[in-house]
Structure 1
Amino acid sequence: ESWDLPLHEITTRKVESHYFDLKQIREEEQEVISGFGYSTRKNLRKNMKSYGDLTTEWAETIEQAESIFADLVSLHQTRWQKEGQPGSYASRRFTEFHKDLIQKLIPTNQMGLFRVKIEGQVIGCVQVLIDRNRVLCYQGGSAEYNGKLSPGVIADYLCIEECFKRGFDAYDFLAGNSHHKQKMSTHHSYLTWAQIKRPRWKFTALNALRKIKQTMNVIKRVNQNHN
């Protein structure tokens, strides 16, 4: 007889993950900007012209990566703290963890750090992870919105352009269904989280005792019938 003891409780959650298909654009011999919707293309062209002389930088060395990361943290923290939030890098331990990752992943091309400047002033930075030729947009920091197109949108667009030039297959915004991620992508897939909870031994033991009691009752009835 099966004891039918409780197994680990498993819960799953599935969310959309939007991405820009760089490989498809490359195969179709199109420009990156052609992959966006009409209104996004129009706004990008207009506001790229408004911003004027933009310069971009992709970290090729650990020293460059550290410099860009410092700017990213500063921009990110300034923005979120003005909104009354602590920001992702409020934890020193978390920040140091990413500094350690830079030392390990930049030399192996598993991480990228990208920076956009206008007239020497940083307006946006992006931190990405790289897995099987797919760029995973992990975190960003951007200057304050000043009436033009968001600096964060400009930074993401120029980072997508840079990833296209470097031969990557996709630029993945990861989990989330924000308007920004939708308008800056061409497709979406799904990410699934699975959570396995350990069995609560108190209830496991009670269930086992209940099964023993049920079995003993069956034996008792059988003996009574024989008598």
Structure 2
Amino acid sequence: MPGQRAGERRRRLADVGVSPKDRVVDAAIEVGEAPDLPRPAQPLGAPSLHQRQGSKGLSLFLERMDDHRVAGAEAMGGEIAVPISRREIIRAFLRQRTDHLQRGGKAVVNADRHQGLDKCGVPSSSATPEFALRAIVTPITDPQGLRDAWLTLETNAEPSFFTSWHWIEALLVAAGRTAFVLKVMDDNRIVGLCVLYVHSAARRRWFTPRDTLSVNETGDPVCDAIYIEHNGILHDRRYGAAVVRAALACLSGPEARSVLPRFDEIRLGGVPEIYRMIAAEIPWLAREIARKPTFGVDLAALRQSGEELMAQFGRNTRHQIRRSIRAYERHGPLGFNAAPDLETALFYFEQMIGLHTARWTERGQSGAFATTFARTFHTALIRGGITNGSVELVECRAGDTVIGYLYNFVYRGTVYFYQSGFEYSRDRNLKPGLVTHYLCMERHLSRGNDYYDFMAGEQRYKTNLAARGKDLIWLRLRRPLWQYRFADAASRAMGIARALCDRWQR
């Protein structure tokens, strides 16, 4: 009976010292990511939630919040984590149901381990009420001190390669101009770090901010063509979303204005979904500029299952790879070699640039390495990463015939495919990209790496070789001035008008 269930729930809450009037979410537990902790009987965000309307669906949502909270509190000895108000819970429920409707009414569960959200759409965090975080912004005057602090924080964080010191150091070297660092502190301990640049556009436009603040990017479109992904604020895993919230509150508040040059826009490129949710909490105009899916192959699961890599592809993809391998083997045995030293790595890099640029020139574009900044940045990155194995340049050959080159990053068990250059033939049966990626995945499968990340973008070869993962988003936050409000409203109106025109034409 409903009354009996409610009474049982109140007794369970009282047993762990939680008042039923204060509904809280145990953000220290991510459902499905903490096997040593008890889970609720029915996972949060289950499809049945979306099929119920009005107050009944919300009541079920709140009940499951309590079940999830009690399970976590019992496992943690009755300790309570980040209190979430009833209003925030209702907002999470509405966001979840809105996302469900936008997906056509289908329940979509994203189990990617990097998502940073629990399955009910509430930001995951391991912060507790006694965390009094403060954020400060200072110019970078001591690069060695920043390096030590960054590497120390990495040991307690779960960074991607793009928020590791490998990438950040190369960015600072290549940019060669004034940069700032944002530190999130818990007392005297650093629990969050990111690099900031303020960029001023050459021309001032009335409805577009001239001065922008970028996180882990320069803000200059020419320089940022190096294209960061899996971006964000490096943070201690025990603090989670609390660090992001403190950082964005600082950047949008008066603290940052006293140190940074004037800016009217904050840019967050290639960040996870949690940033959009937290950005909606601050009084700036937040807008999602772009959203791109990522693709990857779970090598750890494949290794555990004992299945062959080739069996994971579709029939047509398997046929193309095998046919290409047979054709290439007529030129000699296939060879797949990773650069063993810096000299070889730089040679492979130059050869890859030649093939990459030639391919893009045929399409009327310059490619990813056309600027001096890009060459400087990647040279610094290779010099710093080839010795410790975080940067990988590989060559694929068939006898004396070059098939192609891959430029990868290898960090904490994940292989990030960054860029490539292939020798294309007039023979359309030859697929150098599929063959090279297949051999590279086989190599890392045997070397014990966990994940092969094709990163953002929905190109056909990614959909053929990999499974879809989480989405990355590109955000902008503008100061709430009237001209920017007008520009946002006009842009949304134009988008609605285009959608209506498209629908009418169909």
TM-score grouping bracket, smaller chain normalisation: 0.7 to 0.9
SS of residue matched to 2:426: coil
Larger RCO: Structure 1 or Structure 2 (Cα < 8 Å, ≥ 6 residues apart)?
A: 1
Match of 2:287 in 1: 11
Alignment of 1:24 onto 2:298: no
Structure 2: gaps spanning 5 or more residues? 1-281, 485-506
1:189 Cα deviation (Å)? 1.1
Q: Deviations over 1:133-173 (max 9, x none)?
A: 11111101101233222212211111111111221111111
| Structure having the higher Rg | 1
Counterpart among 450, 456, 459 of residue 178 in structure 1: 459
Give, in angstroms, the shift of residue 202 of structure 1. 6.8
Give the ranges of 4+ consecutive aligned residues of structure 1 lying more than 4 Å apart after TM superposition. 200-204
1:129/1:191 CA distance change after superposition, 3 Å: farther
2:410 aligned to 113, 130, 143, which one? Answer: 130
Change (3 A) 1:144 1:181: same
In the TM superposition, what is the alpha-carbon distance from 1:192 to its structure 2 partner?
A: 2.3
Distance 1:8 1:145 in 2: 51
What CA deviation, in whole Å up to 9, does each residue of 1:159-212 have, x standing for no partner?
Answer: 111111221111111111121110011x211232242424155769xxxxxxxx
Is contact 2:283–2:480 with CA below 8 Å preserved after alignment? no
SS in 1 for 2:388: coil
Aligned partner of residue 294 in structure 2, secondary structure: strand
Q: Give the letter for the 1:76 counterpart.
A: H
Q: Is the 8 A contact 2:320 2:431 kept in 1?
A: no
2:111 paired with 1:111: no
- Summarize the alignment of residues 35-184 of structure 1 with structure 2, pairs less than 5 Å apart: 35-52=312-329, 53-147=333-427, 148-184=429-465
Q: Give the match's secondary structure for 2:340.
A: coil
AA in 1 matched with 2:434: V
CA deviation profile, 1:109-140 (whole Å, cap 9, x unmatched):
22211111122232211111223211111101
Alpha-carbon distance in 1 for matches of 2:454, 2:483: 42
Partners of 1:10 and 1:194 within 8 A in 2: no
- Structure 1 residue runs without a partner (length 5+): 1-5, 205-227
Partners of 1:84 and 1:196 lie apart in 2 by 30
Task: Kindly state the Cα deviation for residue 57 of structure 1 after the two structures are TM-superposed.
Answer: 0.6
- Residue 199 of structure 1 is matched in structure 2 by 479
Identity among equivalent pairs (%): 27
Q: Distance in 2 between matches of 1:98 and 1:15?
A: 24
Q: Distance in 2 between matches of 1:201 and 1:15?
A: 29
- In 2, are the aligned partners of 1:143 and 1:152 still within 8 Å (CA)? no
Contact 2:324 2:431 in 1 (8 A): no
Aligned residue pairs total: 198
Structure 2-normalised TM-score?
0.37
Amino acid at match of 1:113: L
- 8 Å CA contact 2:456, 2:472 repeated in 1: no
Return the structure number with greater helix share: 1
Would you say the 8 A contact 1:14–1:190 is kept in 2? no
AA aligned opposite 1:153? L
**TM superposition score normalised by structure 1:** 0.80
Two-structure CA RMSD over aligned residues (Å): 2.0
2:348 maps to a residue whose letter is: I
